[in-house]
A and B are shown apart, each in its own frame.
Chain A
Amino acid sequence: MPDTIVVACDGSDASARALDFAHARAKQIGGDLLVVHVLEWSPYSFLTPDEIAERHVRRKEELARADAAIIGPIIAKYKDKGVKIETAVKYGHVIDTLIDAATTANAVEIISGRTGNSGVMTRVFGSVAGTLAQVSPVPCTIVP
């Protein structure tokens, strides 16, 4: 079974660079790519009665939007470029969900871009790439 590389994708320029890098790396090792897009979601947030009644519909819309705006262009760009690509749009906490996807797929590596925030912003809000590097169960590459 070929090795799988998980690449985090949020549709930003940084994640496009990460995807390019991951694609080249997968080609190099003869592996597959699993592109994961995470929609931030907590099952413990508070919703109004209206939001609850509409949640199922909104979820469908959000998944369709993610497919159209983020996943579709990726598949179009890398189709028939010599690497098998699978995609997944998942709800949850970004880091936990990425790690969960990597563990389930027996991935050999996680690749992510970074926004390049520094100083105060990162101190206050943390950084996905930084935390991922800290807690990833497999080797993790952060693409600048």
Chain B
Amino acid sequence: MASVLFSLAACTPVRQAAPSLGLGTETRLEPALSGDGRLLASLLVRDGRTTVVLQERQTGRLLALAHLQRNQPHHSPSLSWNGRYLALISQQGERRLAVIEDRATGQLHPLPLPPGQEVQRLSLAPDASRLAMEVSRGGLSRVLIFDLRPRLEPDLPPGQSVSGGGLP
């Protein structure tokens, strides 16, 4: 145990602030990283609107999102391994709706829940095979897992092959 604590303590984490968007004092919320840590998604609060922004973590360069500049406020962004998919909660009238933007194809995938359930928080598996949703129903919070494999191509680390399918 002593050696473990030593190894943790001996290596000091390296810190930096998230890249600024050049907007003065920014309020930034709910960070999410791509699986490889290259991209950072977060919520920017400006002029009373809470909007997702996607940046390269090291340079701060902003990346375009085709479908996610409206239906605010946004909540709970989550990224896949290479950042191909960005899942978040958007506002659709009176209801919250989970959506996934596929940055490779430009498609937007809405993920409606049955009536009576309201999504509160999301977590997208890095390979985009599953989505976890915290939903509230009757005042209680529950976490539900959904299978995305029939709908989304996997987003895997480079060099990792898709398992299953095809003949040996």
Chain A bound to chain B: no
